Amino acid sequence: MRKRHPQHTVISFGEILWDIFPEQIVLGGAPLNLACRVHSLGEHAVIASRLGRDQLGNHAFALATSLGVNTSCVQWDERYPTGTVNVNFSPAGEPDFLIVPEVAYDYIEVSDQLLGLCSKAAVFCFGTLAQRSEKAGKTLAALLEAAAGSLKFLDINLRKDCFSERTIRWSLEKADILKLNAEEVRTVSSMLFGEELEVDRFSRKAVEKFSLQCCLVTLGAGGVLAAERAGKLIYLPGYAVEVADTVGAGDAFSAGFIHARLEGKDLAHCCELGNLLGALAAGKKGATAPISEEEIAGLRTGGRNRLRHPGLERFAVV
């Protein structure tokens, strides 16, 4: 799906990694998934990351480049390996994830090229995983300062043993838009407000406390709740699709939201495009499987059932 008018530069900072399953390996990392989706919508997507000078790194770079993402800001590390996540399953089928520490993306460096791109970017996207190391955290701080005129989009993406209250607070203080899921709301609200808040109360409090433009809470198949300044809340239900793979659905939502925001759409329209892309991504195998304009239009106008989250109907706008 491509647009014809001039592109906006969207920088996605953080991890490129491989998920190592017992039977296969899959390229991933939320920042890369987001960049791929943003590119597919016609924007100039730049991935800012670091790979090991190894076979996995070479393969990741080739795949990311083939997907159309600008990989000119991907750095190479001679000491640390390309990022990996070891995925194993219990006898009951429950997955267990080990995000391997001390890998290349923990050591992303500041460069003149990155600083220059950040100074001109329309949107700068970041999360918390790449902040687990002091080195990458300091790099992120420098890039955010350079991106002073950009829209700062925080997809909090909490991963076990890879975040802290300090990281979350600092990230929220730098962000314009916060995106997280309902499970993350429980964790973040307990840290910041001392209790597990319902998604509507949390969203209002987060916007007010951190002076956010808006807070987006994705609800899986149930859609999204969004809060903006002055305490306004809206809810858009999800779309009923046959789920093939939920990995990357949240990143597809973010890409749709960002694209619509860059086109000057209002909050409801941004959330709606996010919902459409998230649902279509969940119906495909692979976090970067192509989504066409025809598929988006078909889902939007095809009369599919909308999946509504109980308790949020009073905020519904469709």
User: Do residues 114 and 143 lie in contact, with contact meaning Cβ atoms separated by under 8 Å?
Assistant: yes
User: Do residues 157 and 129 lie in contact, with contact meaning Cβ atoms separated by under 8 Å?
Assistant: yes
pLDDT of 184: 96
Strand 214-218 to strand 238-239: parallel, antiparallel, or no bridges (unpaired)? unpaired
Lowest mean pLDDT among 56-65, 107-116, 306-315: 306-315
pLDDT of 245: 83
- Give the helix/strand (H/E) hosting 17: strand 17-20
pLDDT of 1: 54
pLDDT digits (tens, 9 = 90+) for 77-108: 999 999 999 988 777 766 678 999 999 999 99
Distance from C-alpha of 84 to C-alpha of 116, rounded to nearest angstrom: 29
* Angle 24-30-34 from CA coordinates, rounded to 5°: 115
Q: Residue type for 60, please?
A: A
224: three-class secondary structure by DSSP: strand
Cα atoms in the Cβ-side hemisphere of radius 13 Å centred on 223: 26
Closest residue by Cα to residue 52 from 18, 19, 21: 18
| CA separation, residue 72 to residues 219, 250, 317 (Å) | 35, 25, 41
pLDDT, mean over the chain: 93
pLDDT of 288: 87
3-state secondary structure 25-93: EEEECHHHHHHHHHHHCCCEEEEEEEEECCHHHHHHHHHHHHCCCECCCEEEECCCCCEEEEEEECCCC
Check whether 2 has a pLDDT greater than 60. Answer: no
pLDDT of 225: 98
Neighbours of 136 (CB within 10 A): 23
pLDDT, mean of residues 290-297: 92
Q: Residue type for 115, please?
A: L
Torsion-angle region of 102 (φ positive above 0: left; ψ -120 to 50: alpha; else: beta): left
Residue 30: pLDDT band by 50, 70, 90 thresholds?
very high
- What angle, rounded to 10 degrees, do the helices at 293-301 and 267-282 form? 110
Architecture of the domain whose range is 1-126+144-156: 3-Layer(aba) Sandwich (3.40)
pLDDT digits (tens, 9 = 90+) for 31-51: 999 999 999 999 999 999 999
pTM metric for this prediction: 0.95
pLDDT of 5: 54
pLDDT of 230: 80
Residue 202: pLDDT band by 50, 70, 90 thresholds?
very high
The domain limits of the chain are 1-126+144-156, 176-318
Question: What CATH superfamily is the domain 176-318?
Answer: Ribokinase (3.40.1190.20)
